[in-house]
Structure 1
Amino acid sequence: MDESSPDLQSQQDEDLEGSYSKLPAFRRKQATVSSFVFYVLCSLGLLICVEVIIFSRFLLPLAVGNASYSGDRRSNVSDLINLEPEAPFRTSFHFQPPKNWMNDPNGPMYYKGFYHLFYQYNPWGAVWGNLTWGHAVSEDLLHWLDLEPALKGDQWYDVGGVWSGSVTFRLDGTPIILYTGLAEDLEQTQNMAVPDDASDPFLRKWVKSSENPLLRHPDGVYKEDFRDPSTAWQVEDGSWRITIGTQVETDGMALVYKSRDLLHWELEKNVLYTIPGSGMWECLDFYPVAPTGRRGLDTSTRGPSVNHVLKVSSYNDQHDYYAVGSYNEVTQAFTPVNQELGVLYGLQYDYGKFYASKSFYDPVKKRRILWGWSNESDTEAQDIAKGWASLQAIPRTVWLDSELGDNLIQAPIEELKSLRGVKVSKAEVELEAGSILRIEGSYGGQLDIEVTFEYPDVSKVAFKYGRPLDDPFDCSEGGSAQRGVFGPFGLLVMADDALQEQTALFFYISQSKDRQWSTYFCSDQSRSSLLDGVDGSAYWGNVRVLPSENFLSLRVLVNLLSLSGCPIVFFYGFPICFP
């Protein structure tokens, strides 16, 4: 949008009035790759693909991931949010602002009929810096209206940037923002902002508290290591708690503060959790989970059967780690259910490009939704040339795995299925070892793929072929081209006819020296793009398969050049085989 236009805000206000009815989706020239290939490689014996279902030609929202609720003002709104419908590498259903740099999701919430997403945003360019709180609203988490930034660094305590934070609802139902401000001397401060007009469903204007900064770094904490306040939760006596990430020397920890009014805060003596030598913790998230079912819980829910999730974004390695555990309101201690899966050494939300995540409770559908930032794989020079950088991963619903009790299950939000178009399916496909099967009719830049494999009877195959089964699995760069006993098998997407350019998503089953079987999910990006300088890393994670489970299922979302799968591996590649 044109920041210099004196009539921009008045035009925007005018466009936002009325029925909020969705506009028809803007159409764009669809980028198309030569083929989509379904494959299995190097497994001994016969593998059964129970079913593969592919939905293509999505009924897309706006090309830049934005839409308007302004009735009949389509042309004006199109100009307002600066659409570039022919941009070849824009995603279609992942959230992106119209232009420039974006990173952490901040303060997601639902308010007066709209989902709100705030995010770290540079209004002046496609590189990190000048951080404000970008702001967008949606009725369905798919069609987004981009608004003016909600918070800018205009006070001494945040002149260096308005950094990450969270939204908390007061008892009267009005939201407040708690955020980290960066002062000129790089001190990190904690601050509050409230809506200027709580009756406005778009919450377009926010006012900073006259008492800011509410918190400054405590004794023993370096001024540059004190950031990202969580959503506040209430304990039994009615007081509030928040957690803030820090490190003391090299020990990462989650500090706890208490308050009666969400304005005046006092540091608790005990920390929520700490791990020696783990480095700086940021973007903390702390929330309860229901013991059974998929329903989410409000952040202040408590009870004898309610466990909590503590999520830590590790500054050292840029991954999001979590643990499920019990929370003691008296001592403020968090204790993981499974000590071997303690925060930072056990479970990750995602094993690819996914960081600084933030969840919220959706009161409409009674679920907890998780957002996460995905940095793209191209270079800074390429970002500057195309005019934007980064996207948000598809929002996910998360709930407790009640069978195991120590980990979460994740799935893309159900609304995504409303975008599905043409369906292509095959069932009971027999795949010989080393075979590659092309799925005809599955072309295009937007695909929603569901595939189910029959889990091989590893004991029978081992007996039949007499092969040693303790060969190490290979999820490294180029691992999809290796030969193993049970793997790789999976998918090739965004592939050209010669398979020179491809992205591999595959399973690998391996037996350790102690004869224990393990299943891994891998993504190999080493051939995702022929462009110079693009990150071609490989990502992998362990899949916990119970003895009672006979199938391996995989869902992959292809969004122009963005791919995401489950088990969760999110990454972004730039094939150059477009016509």
Structure 2
Amino acid sequence: MYYNGVYHEFYQYNPDGAFDPNDSLMNMVWGHSVSTDLINWIGLEPAIEPDTPSDICGCWTGSATILFGEQPVIIYTGLIDRKANQVQNIALPKNRSDPYLREWAKVGNNPVIQHVIPGLNSSHFRDPTTGWIGPDGLWRIAVGAEVNGIGTALLYKSKDFMNWTRIARPLYSNNALNMWECLDFFAVLPGSNNGLDMSSQIPSGAKHVLKVSINSCDMYIVGVYDLKRDEFVPDTVQDDNRLWTRIDYGTFYASKSFFDSKHGRRVIWAWSNETDSYSDDIAKGWAGIHSIPRTIWLDGDGKQLIQWPVEEIESLRINEINHQGLELKKGDLFEIKGIDTLQADVEIDFEPTSIDDAEPFDPSWLFDPRKHCREADASAHGGIGPFGLVILASDNMEEHTAVHFRVYKSQEKYMILMCSDLRSLP
């Protein structure tokens, strides 16, 4: 959230170590860092720790909302036992005059939402969204759940953000998926990169996006929010969740967006799960990284989200290396020298001389693009491609990461496949 000139990032953190095979999920606290530019961060003490009956076995994901009157409030999931039964709790800053909001206090009536729903899997009931105001002046949040084996975004209303009533009809449900976690629900205006505050007047023509996290993927649906029925209505219903659009096809999970009132934009970032071994995590003392914050908006035709690193990232750009007009033929490898390959920001344009040789696109590849990337890896020559970048390469190329592209011809348009191959050559 952005509050009184400071950005606050809260995140899942295990203070007892990089990896604990027995209790890593039960030790979770809310880590807390602050920044004035989204780039340089100060790590603070944890904001929320498991020390009450409503979260004694772990403080899991939730959201921050700024209520009218400039009152920040956190609503989060607490584990109440070792069976991972979950409830929703609230915490408030102890001292709003502290610019960093270092200390937070849990309200006395926690849990504010309990799992008393027929058919609800009480161990799959978590991650409340940021709150928004409806036309009736009531606050709303959505909570991810599995009800009768169906993925569901449960909807709750409140006058004061402390006492909640569940709406009988869910915000949205779909039997294509089971448990939905790390929900995000926000408004976007097609073709505009200006962000929208869900609690302000939403302009005519705006769309809404429902994002869910499942199976290590962050997927989303674009649609409209029916205010009268309090229901999200997708523009297109895909019963096969493999065809849902993803925020990112790489290691990008549990993403969360917020409205940045300072710059009038919507910013999103996520947990990027690493591929290190447990022993490596223990040796280095930490595990998991956060992606660079991105501005996110909806394209002009209202079908796909567009994202780009926040403009503040440009403050880190130094010692520019520039090459133009390079002509590369099949098998050519051009080395860019003079940069730190551990922290390189690369902008590159490829201009194929012709795309007539593009191979036909097989629609079945959409079910599992990662599988197709593995099969059509950087060593498999195609009609147009692979071409791209080789990064983090050792001198003998025994270890490297290939980021490569291929061009295919679909029925009505060309399709571009972008792959990132984290495997090293044998």
TM-score, reference length from structure 2: 0.92
Deviations along 1:277-299, whole A, 9 cap, x unmatched?
Answer: 41100010001112332111112
134, 149, 157: which one aligns with 1:235: 134
Alpha-carbon contact 1:122-1:131 (below 8 Å) kept: yes
1:103 corresponds to: none
Which amino acid letter does the alignment assign opposite residue 360 of structure 2? Answer: D
Corresponding letter in the other structure for 2:290: Q
SS at match of 2:347: strand
Show the counterpart of 2:38.
141
Once residues 354 and 171 of structure 2 are traced to their aligned partners in structure 1, the CA distance between those partners, rounded to angstroms, is 44
With 341-350 and 136-145 compared, the bigger mean Cα shift is at: 341-350
CA deviations on 1:99-133 (whole Å, 9 max, x unpaired) are xxxxxxxxxx0111111001111111112330000
- CA offset at residue 344 of structure 1? 6.3
Alpha-carbon distance in structure 2 between the residues aligned to 1:115 and 1:344: 35
Q: Percent identity among equivalent residues?
A: 43
Matches within 5 A, 1:350-389: 350-389=248-287
User: Deviations 1:292-317 (Å, cap 9, x if unpaired)?
Assistant: 32111112232431211110011xx1
SS at match of 2:280: helix
Write the distance in 1 (CA, Å) between the matches of 2:135 and 2:156.
15
Unmatched tracts of structure 1, length 5 or more? 1-108, 463-468, 531-579
Separation in 1, partners of 2:361, 2:210: 36
* Residue 306 (structure 2) aligns with: 409
Distance 1:470 1:342, change over 3 A: closer
The CA deviation at 1:157 is: 1.1
Matches within 5 A, 1:6-17: none
Query: What amino acid does structure 2 have at the position aligned with 1:198?
Result: R
**In 2, Cα distance between equivalents of 1:285 and 1:202:** 25
Distance 1:183 1:400, change over 3 A: same
Offset from partner CA, 1:397-421 (integer Å, 9 cap, x none): 001111x211110001111111111
The aligned residue for residue 394 of structure 1 is 292
Name the structure 2 match of 1:533: none
**Cα offset, 1:516, TM superposition:** 5.7
CA distance 1:228–1:221, shift in 2 (3 Å) = same
Q: Which runs of 5+ in 2 are unaligned?
A: 366-371
After superposition, where does 1:422-433 map in structure 2 within 5 Å? 422-433=319-330
Question: Deviation at 1:451?
Answer: 0.2
Q: Which secondary structure does the structure 2 equivalent of 1:245 belong to? A: strand
1:261 matched residue in structure 2:
160
CA distance in 1, matches of 2:393, 2:278: 25
Counterpart position of 2:394: 496
Return closer, same or farther for 1:344/1:482 CA change in 2, 3 Å cut-off. Answer: closer
**Partner secondary structure for residue 134 of structure 1:** strand
Q: 1:175 to 1:343 in 2, by over 3 A?
A: farther
Q: Is the 8 A contact 1:148 1:204 kept in 2?
A: yes
RMSD of aligned C-alpha atoms? Answer: 2.0
8 Å CA contact 1:478–1:526 kept in 2: the answer is no
Query: In 2 relative to 1, CA 517–132 (structure 1 residues): closer, same or farther, beyond 3 Å?
Result: same
Q: Distance in 2 between matches of 1:516 and 1:193?
A: 51
2:7 partner letter:
Y
Asked if structure 2 preserves the Cα contact closer than 8 Å seen for 1:126 and 1:388, the reply is: yes
Q: Is the 8 A contact 2:176 2:240 kept in 1?
A: no
Cα drift, residue 457 of structure 1: 3.0
Counterpart position of 1:420: 317
Q: What is the aligned counterpart of 2:235 among 337, 341, 361?
A: 337
CA contact (8 A) 1:326 1:336 kept: yes
| Structure 1 residues 239 and 344, CA gap change in structure 2 (3 angstroms) | farther
State the match for 2:369 in structure 1. none
Q: Residue 225 of structure 1 aligns with which residue? A: 124
Shift of 1:192: 0.6
* Aligned equivalent of 1:60: none
2:368 paired residue number:
none
Change (3 A) 1:434 1:114: same
Name the counterpart of 2:179: 280
- Partners of 2:236 and 2:312 in 1: CA distance: 33
What is the deviation of 1:193? 0.6
Aligned residue for 2:29?
Answer: 132
> 288, 293, 304: which one pairs with 2:192?
293
- Measured at CA, do residues 343 and 363 of structure 1 come closer, stay the same or move farther in structure 2, by a change above 3 Å? farther
SS at match of 1:495: coil
The residue type paired with residue 8 of structure 2 is: H
C-alpha contact (below 8 Å) 1:322/1:343 kept by paired residues: no
Q: 1:514-529 alignment to 2 at 5 Å?
A: 517-527=414-424
**Partner letter of residue 308 of structure 1?**
H
Deviation at 1:265, TM superposition (A): 0.8
Shift of 1:477: 6.2
- Counterpart of 2:205 in structure 1 is 305
Aligned partner of 1:248 among 147, 163, 167: 147
- Which amino acid in the other structure matches residue 476 of structure 1? R
Q: Work out whether residues 235 and 241 of structure 1, in 8 Å CA contact, stay in contact via their aligned partners in 2.
A: yes
Distance in 2 of aligned mates of 1:485 and 1:299: 46
- Aligned-partner Cα distance in 2 for 1:223–1:274: 17
* 2:313 match: secondary structure: helix
Q: What is the distance in 1 between the residues matched to 2:254 and 2:194? A: 23
Cα gap change, 1:159 to 1:342, in 2 (>3 Å): same
Residue 52 of structure 2 is aligned to residue 155 of structure 1: yes
Counterpart-to-counterpart distance in 2, 1:443 and 1:155: 47
**CA offset at residue 340 of structure 1?**
4.8
Go from structure 1 to structure 2 and tell me whether the alpha carbon gap of 1:208 and 1:471 turns closer, same or farther (over 3 Å shift).
closer
The CA distance in 2 between the partners of 1:334 and 1:319, in whole Å, is 21
Length, aligned pairs only = 410
Instruction: Tell me the residue number matched to 1:324.
Output: 222
Contact 2:341/2:391 (<8 A) preserved:
no
The equivalences for 1:503-542 within 5 A come to 503-511=401-409, 517-527=414-424
Q: Sort the Cα spacing of 1:443 and 1:192 in 2 relative to 1 into closer, same or farther, 3 A.
A: closer
Q: Are 1:312 and 1:322, in contact at CA under 8 Å, matched by a contact in 2?
A: yes
Q: State whether residues 320 and 357 of structure 1, in contact with CA within 8 Å, keep that contact through their aligned partners in structure 2.
A: yes
d(CA) in 2 for partners of 1:207, 1:341: 42
